[in-house]
Amino acid sequence: MTDAYVVGVDMIKFGRFPDRTVPQIGAQAALMALDDCGLTIHDIQALYSGNLGQASGMVGQRILQEIGQTGIPVVNVANACATGATAFREAWTGVKAGLYDCVLAVGVEQMGKGLLGGAGGAKGISKEGLFGSGTMPAVFAEAGMEHTRKYGTTFEQFAKVSVKNHLHSTLNPKAMYQIETPLETVMNAEMISYPNTKLMCSVNVDGSAAAVICSEKKAKELGLMNRAVKIRASVMASDPWQERDLVMPDVNACTRRAAKEAYEMASLDAKDIDLVELHDCFATAEILHYENLGLCADGEAGRMIDEGEVALGGRIPVNVSGGLLSKGHPLGATGIANIYEVATHLRGEAGARQVQDARIGMTHVIGLGSACAIHILEKT
């Protein structure tokens, strides 16, 4: 099978755009990604569109109505927080399998403010409040407290994740928020679900990101290899079967499975990774995923954040973009926005937040239910 490369990639500055439609927001990123590699929609053989809020709304086709209807195949996907990454992976699959030489993946979301998750849609007596909570803040608060029970992780260590990511965001002009938040400010913010305060929760925003993926042959033919980023691994996983815990869902097993498969596909190990954009939907989640991705041994995540190993300039910088906590989390766009961030570093184009000598990067997203996607990218 042919190797596949990201040849064009970009994202809009995340924010809130109530006066624009989802297709308009998505089309902006699509055109930016095409401009990034000097191509047009006429060069694209298929479009893969990720959107959750209008999953049945033919968003991909409506994006083409904005930028040019060329009659190409369109695939629309919805896969919780992994929606954008799923669209990217389907695009990669099309190129990898030899069906296409040049495709476009777009992720877009328009979100209101407020709480995600809960017990909606279930039949019978709701378990909400009887066996813990299905709301996202509560689920990841419970997971964080379980980590505390096992390893002694402290409230302060969880809060340091938010401090780090908000500091990183001050270097990212495309982040929703670019505000430094001292430790005391984070810890004294409104408590949402202990140990996650408001500043330790991801931001619901509007946003879009897009990537152009080409085969090696096509990238060379178009003269695009000088900035191309190789996709070393593209993996998705769902939850393995296990005894059900009615109190707390397992937020770890899916990521661990995907990480193992991604390292095997890339013929790499965690020690080979130079930077990571992972799914910090809550500060507690980032701590868990250090271990789930093999960045450290189980029980060592608190030490990693204390010693600055995951900060810009540390051993393995994590969420240099500001992460979901500060850059924002438009569900359908997040997966491709992570690809943009890592690719920008591998190209050496990240400016003040550049991870020095970055050659290999990883992106990770997970939507509970569960769908986890991991990509490993390499500088050419």
Q: Which residues participate in catalysis according to the annotation?
A: 81, 329
Alpha-carbon distance of 11 to 92, in angstroms, equals 18
CA distance 103 to 228: 14
The strand pair at 102-109 and 207-215 is best described as: antiparallel
State the Cα–Cα distance between residues 256 and 240, nearest whole angstrom: 11
Q: In what order do the strands lie in the sheet with 102-109?
A: 74-77, 47-50, 102-109, 207-215, 4-11, 229-237, 371-379, 360-367, 275-277
Amino acid code (one letter) for 17: F
250-284 burial by CB neighbour count: b if 16+ within 10 A, else e?
A: bbbbbbbbbbebbbeebebeeeebbbbbbbbbbbb
Instruction: Give CA–CA dist 64/108, Å, rounded.
Output: 14
365's torsion region: left (phi>0), alpha (psi -120 to 50) or beta? beta
